[in-house]
Amino acid sequence: MLVSENEIYCLSANRGHRTLLVDLNNFASFPTLAVGILVAALRNAGHRVDLMVPLAYDVPASAREKPDRLHHHMMRKVHLSTAPGTRILRDRLRSLYYARQRRPHATVIREVTRALDQKPDILLLSAYLQHHETVVELCRLAKLRNIPVLLGGPAFNLKGTVEAWRSMPGLTAIYGGEADLSVPDLVSAIVERKDLRDIPGVVLPDGSGNSYAPPLRELDKSPVPDFTDFPWDRYPVRIIPIMTGRGCQWARCLFCSDVVSANGRTFRTRSLEIVLHEMREQSHRYGTSNFLFLDLKLNSNPHLLRGLVENVQMVVPGAQWIGTVHVDLRKDNGLTRSELRAAASAGMRRVSFGLESGSQRMLDLMDKGASAEANETFINHASEAGISVRCTMFKGFPGEQADDLERTADFLVRNSRHIDRIRFNDFSILEDTPIWNSIMSGGNGYPDIRMLGTDAAHARLRYAQSSGKGAAYRKAMSRVLSAVYAINRRPLRDEARMFDGLM
């Protein structure tokens, strides 16, 4: 995977530049879509790419959502506790956990050091914000060898975040946009030491540059991702990540940081032909008919979803696939009982959606564009069609009361046998979301939130909350968590098992 002496020699005949691309998003089950796109774009343009994927060197990767054991339930209780005594201890434990999680991994540092010693022309890093310390260390190592570094990732279009990251020693530039088409030129511009300041999306260490890259409109021109160099032998099952579009047609939920990320801004859809072409091509290349749709909302464009359902088995016979939807209130949201049955017949095995809360009052406060009733109908129809249902939820949106949690608990108990997994989080306020902007502007929309500061490097608000306390709230929370545990401890239905823990 990394470059050998002979290969370096061959490069002298190549007009492209030698790039070392490090994928810090180490995930245990499938390749990273963004990185596959960047590799394809660079290679198509004649650049040389050596890809470093930590999993290939046995760096422990994030695996998600295996059936719950009792200790998972207990940990969730502590993690989400609002009891005054537990909170202080819990917050300390949380900080320790994050600090440990975020430490640079010795193997990553060692392997990147080796690769840098081969003197690539440029180091490209694709990172999430929890990789801050690793990025600091890799930039330092690159600086020692005079190798320029270009950093990108979904959160680097956020102004406060970029401010907190841009001046780390050794970093040449941050790119805060979708680089599907632009990455080859960016690499050339940096290696050939051209002036970067006018390139949309680029921020330099001194803060200069044109930080705004418009969302990529020509999605059909994005190359078919190149996953050749990912460690396929380490994945339990071969699964191809793919997207039919970027962004979300609703894009209004007040807490949503997905739609403010580099690739989530504004809804754009690809054409059905291109999506089907990519599925056929990738199935052929990697010898699998399993797909994971990473769209924020696979039913943003119901016509495309229907087209996919109608054609997928012709294009990839035996295809099995999963995706995430939003049970919105449009007349046509692509998720009727018969549409879900058709999707199941076309190979859909699992669906995930943001249930968030069982209380209509909370859904309205979040501007979720959903109803508890429609969510319930959807869960029943999907499950009855044979699709495994997974949902994400959280506690602690401002204004949440014990009564809202009681409704959530009732909802889960009522629908327990139709839901296979729940990911239940604590609420957080992330940079540039509507709720963040409202609090930052000093308005009085959230009287129960007292801002303590920001964690700019991780794009988070630090705050204290006066709602969500008291014995009644805690009792209701305990009911919710018992219902979550009752669901998560069950094994998945057989047909969805190979997709367990993927989203």
The footprint of ligand B12 (CB under 6 A) covers 25-27, 32-34, 37-38, 62, 124-126, 128-130, 150, 152-155, 175, 178-180, 183, 186, 241, 257-258, 261-264, 294, 296, 503
Q: How far is the CB of 331 from ligand B12 (least distance, A)?
A: 26
How far, in Å, are 136, 151, 205, 279, 437 from residue 171 at the CA level?
8, 8, 7, 36, 29
Q: How far is the CB of 268 from ligand SF4 (least distance, A)?
A: 14
CA 493 to chain centre: 25
- Binding status of residue 297 toward ligand SF4 by CB under 6 A: yes
> Which phi and psi angles does 143 have, rounded to 5°?
-60, -40
- Binding status of residue 259 toward ligand SF4 by CB under 6 A: yes
Q: How far is the CB of 264 from ligand SF4 (least distance, A)?
A: 7
Judged by phi (left if over 0) then psi (alpha if -120 to 50, else beta), residue 293 lies in: beta
Q: How far is the CB of 433 from ligand B12 (least distance, A)?
A: 9
- Binding status of residue 362 toward ligand SF4 by CB under 6 A: no
- Choose the binding region for ligand SF4 from 131-139, 248-256, 274-282, 382-390 (rule: CB under 6 A): 248-256
- Binding status of residue 339 toward ligand SF4 by CB under 6 A: no
Q: How far is the CB of 368 from ligand B12 (least distance, A)?
A: 16
- Binding status of residue 251 toward ligand SF4 by CB under 6 A: yes
* Count of residues interacting with ligand SF4 (CB under 6 A): 12
Which listed residue (256, 319, 379, 435) binds ligand SF4 by CB under 6 A?
256
351 binds, among ligand SF4, ligand B12, none (CB under 5 to 8 A by kind): none
- Choose the binding region for ligand SF4 from 79-87, 122-130, 249-257, 281-289 (rule: CB under 6 A): 249-257
**Residue whose structure tokens are 């209380």:** 359
128 binds, among ligand SF4, ligand B12, none (CB under 5 to 8 A by kind): ligand B12
Is the Cβ of residue 311 or residue 392 nearer to ligand SF4 in the bound state?
A: 392
Q: In degrees to the nearest 10, what's the CA dihedral of 415, 417, 423, 429?
A: 0
Q: Which residue is nearest to ligand B12 (CB)?
A: 152
Cα separation, 103 vs 100, whole angstroms: 5
Q: How far is the CB of 326 from ligand SF4 (least distance, A)?
A: 4
Give Rg (Cα) of the chain: 23
Of the candidates 318, 339, 317, the one whose C-alpha atom is nearest the C-alpha of residue 327 is 339
Q: How far is the CB of 128 from ligand B12 (least distance, A)?
A: 3
What b/e string do you get for 215-239 counting C-beta neighbours within 10 Å, with b at 16 or more? bbeebeebbbbbbbbbeeeebeebb
Is the Cβ of residue 117 or residue 332 nearer to ligand SF4 in the bound state?
A: 332
Q: How far is the CB of 375 from ligand SF4 (least distance, A)?
A: 12
Is the Cβ of residue 177 or residue 354 nearer to ligand SF4 in the bound state?
A: 354
Structure tokens at 268: 């754009």
- Choose the binding region for ligand SF4 from 10-18, 205-213, 245-253, 428-436 (rule: CB under 6 A): 245-253
Q: Are 135 and 203 in contact (CB under 8 A)?
A: no
Cα separation, 179 vs 156, whole angstroms: 12
Q: Which amino acid is at 241?
A: P
Cα separation, 104 vs 194, whole angstroms: 32
- Binding status of residue 246 toward ligand SF4 by CB under 6 A: no
Cα separation, 452 vs 296, whole angstroms: 31
Of the candidates 348, 352, 359, the one whose C-alpha atom is nearest the C-alpha of residue 327 is 352
- Choose the binding region for ligand SF4 from 247-255, 412-420, 422-430, 456-464 (rule: CB under 6 A): 247-255
Contacts from 332-335 at CB under 8 Å and sequence distance 24+? 332/302, 333/299, 333/302, 334/299, 334/302, 334/305, 334/306, 335/299, 335/378, 335/381, 335/382
Is the Cβ of residue 135 or residue 335 nearer to ligand B12 in the bound state?
A: 135
Task: Report the half-sphere exposure of 377 (CA within 13 A, side-chain side).
Answer: 12
Residues 6+ apart with CB under 8 A from 180: 37, 38, 41, 216, 219, 221, 222, 223
CA torsion through residues 323, 328, 331, 337, sign: positive
Of the candidates 23, 22, 32, 17, the one whose C-alpha atom is nearest the C-alpha of residue 186 is 17
Q: How far is the CB of 158 from ligand SF4 (least distance, A)?
A: 16
Which listed residue (55, 115, 183, 248) binds ligand SF4 by CB under 6 A?
248
175 binds, among ligand SF4, ligand B12, none (CB under 5 to 8 A by kind): ligand B12
354 binds, among ligand B12, ligand SF4, none (CB under 5 to 8 A by kind): ligand SF4
Is the Cβ of residue 160 or residue 434 nearer to ligand SF4 in the bound state?
A: 434
Q: How far is the CB of 392 from ligand SF4 (least distance, A)?
A: 9
Q: Are 292 and 318 in contact (CB under 8 A)?
A: no
Residues near ligand SF4 (CB under 6 A) = 248, 250-253, 256, 258-259, 296-297, 326, 354
